[in-house]
Amino acid sequence: MLDQQKKIVQSTLPALKVHGEEITRYFYQEMLGAHPELRSMFNASDQADGTQAKRLAGAILAYAGNIDRLDLLGSAVNQIARSHVRVHVQADQYPIVGKYLLLAIKAVLGDAATPEVIEAWGAAYAQLADILIPMEKGMYAAAAAD
């Protein structure tokens, strides 16, 4: 991820603080509408009462705020990976999530989500996927060995 892209992601922090939950609610609505097979990966009551959207919005905000200091997010990233393994997230599902996350950012932020902002967030998401996928692969391998 380029330094300029990190700066762009960080520049979206004020908008994320205001619109984060709206973005994540839109994200889940659109993604699960298009991919109902993913519904079983999420707690239905957390989806219904907004807890899941709130939790994801907080994680996105933390990631954006620490995009240039990812070492500070180590335990949170590890917890996310463990949660993903628990519900059997697979590497080929990451592009689906990325597509709908960027769609939600664009839909909610409108003109503020310039092509540069969407590109930077695409790079940020790819960076996180590049961290989580191998971590989860190792967890799956360790579980299979047990």
Please give the chain's pLDDT, 146 residues, in tens: 899 999 999 999 999 999 999 999 999 999 999 999 999 998 889 989 999 999 999 999 999 999 998 888 888 889 999 999 999 999 999 999 999 999 999 999 999 999 999 999 999 999 999 999 999 999 999 999 98
Angle of helix 94-109 relative to helix 13-34, nearest 10 degrees, comes to 130
pLDDT value of residue 73? 81
What does the block give as tokens for 47?
């989806």
Q: Return the pLDDT at 71.
A: 84
Instruction: List the catalytic residues.
Output: 94, 136
Nearest to 107 by CA among 96, 117, 95: 117
Structural domain spans, the chain: 3-145
Query: Model pTM?
Result: 0.91
Residue found by looking up tokens 């697979």 in the block: 90
Alpha-carbon distance of 105 to 5, in angstroms, equals 16
3-145: CATH homologous superfamily?
Answer: Globins (1.10.490.10)
